[in-house]
Structure 1
Amino acid sequence: MLLSNVDTVENISKEDFLNRYFRPQKPVLIKGLAKSWDAYDKWNLEYIFEQAGDQVVGLYDNKPADPNKATDEPVTTMKMRDYIRLIKSQPSDLRIFFYIITDKLPALLKNFSYPDLGFKYFKRIPTLFFGGSEARVLMHYDVDLGDLLHFQFEGKKRVLLFAPEQAPYLYKVPLSVHTVYNVDYENPDYRLFPALQHAEGYEIFMEHGDALFMPSGYWHFNRYLEAGFSVTLRSFPSSPKRLLKMLKEVFVIRYTDKIMRKLLKGKWVTYKQQSAFKKSETALKKKLQNGSNG
Structure 2
Amino acid sequence: MSLFDLAGPDQIETILFPTDKDGLIRFIRRRQPLLLSGVREALPFTEGLNYSYFKSSLKSIRIQRQSEDGIYHYLGFERLSMEDFDEVMNTTGNGYALEPLRGQGVSDDLPAGLSVTLPSFIPESAFRVSNLYIGPGKNKSLLHYDETHSLLMMLEGRKRFILFPPDQSDCMYPYSPFSIRALLENRVVDSKIDCQNPDVKRFPKLGQAHGITGWLEEGQALFIPAGTWHFIEAEGRNVSVNYFWLQNSVRDWLHQPLLDFWLKRRAIDVLDKLRKIKHKLSAA
Q: TM-score range by the shorter chain?
A: 0.7 to 0.9
Q: Could you list the per-position Cα deviations for residues 56-106 of structure 1 after superposition, in whole angstroms to 9, with x for gaps in the alignment?
A: 5232215349xxxx97124x653233323432x357353124x21131255
Q: Using a 3 Å threshold, how does the CA distance of structure 1 residues 2 and 37 change in structure 2: closer, same or farther? A: closer
Give the SS at the match of 2:119: coil
Q: Would the aligned equivalents of 1:190 and 1:197 in 2 still touch at CA under 8 Å? A: yes
How far the C-alpha of 1:228 sits from its partner, in A, is: 1.0
Give the SS at the match of 1:138: coil
Give the SS at the match of 1:81: helix
Q: Percent identity?
A: 20
Q: Using a 3 Å threshold, how does the CA distance of structure 1 residues 156 and 201 change in structure 2: closer, same or farther? A: same
1:23 and 2:29 matched: yes
How far the C-alpha of 1:257 sits from its partner, in A, is: 7.8
1:169 and 2:176 matched: no
Instruction: For 2:223, give the aligned amino acid.
Output: F
Match of 1:226 among 233, 236, 260: 236
Please name the residue that 2:200 is paired with: 190
Match of 1:214 among 215, 224, 227: 224
Please name the residue that 1:153 is paired with: 155
Q: Using a 3 Å threshold, how does the CA distance of structure 1 residues 141 and 255 change in structure 2: closer, same or farther? A: farther
- Of Structure 1 and Structure 2, the greater helix share is in 1
Q: Could you list the per-position Cα deviations for residues 177-229 of structure 1 after superposition, in whole angstroms to 9, with x for gaps in the alignment?
A: 11125232xx6443444322211221121111211111111111110111112
Instruction: For 1:17, give the aligned amino acid.
Output: L
Give the SS at the match of 1:34: helix
Give the SS at the match of 1:39: helix
Match of 1:86 among 67, 72, 88: 88
Q: Would the aligned equivalents of 2:129 and 2:245 in 1 still touch at CA under 8 Å? A: no
Instruction: For 2:190, give the aligned amino acid.
Output: H
Match of 1:141 among 139, 145, 152: 145
Match of 2:66 among 52, 56, 61: 61
Alignment of 1:1-294 (within 5 A): 1-3=6-8, 4-12=10-18, 14=20, 17-19=24-26, 21-52=27-58, 54-55=59-60, 57-64=62-69, 72-74=75-77, 78-87=80-89, 89=90, 92-97=93-98, 99-102=99-102, 103-104=106-107, 106-107=110-111, 110-117=114-121, 119=123, 122-142=126-146, 145-175=147-177, 176-180=188-192, 182-184=194-196, 188-240=198-250, 248=262, 251-254=265-268
Q: Which runs of 5+ in 2 are unaligned?
A: 1-5, 178-187, 275-284
Q: What is the aligned length?
A: 247
TM-score, normalised via structure 2 length = 0.72
Q: Would the aligned equivalents of 1:57 and 1:80 in 2 still touch at CA under 8 Å? A: no
Q: Would the aligned equivalents of 1:9 and 1:31 in 2 still touch at CA under 8 Å? A: yes
Q: Using a 3 Å threshold, how does the CA distance of structure 1 residues 85 and 155 change in structure 2: closer, same or farther? A: farther
Q: Would the aligned equivalents of 1:139 and 1:221 in 2 still touch at CA under 8 Å? A: yes
Instruction: For 1:18, give the aligned amino acid.
Output: I
TM-score, normalised via structure 1 length = 0.70
How far the C-alpha of 1:36 sits from its partner, in A, is: 2.6
Please name the residue that 1:279 is paired with: none
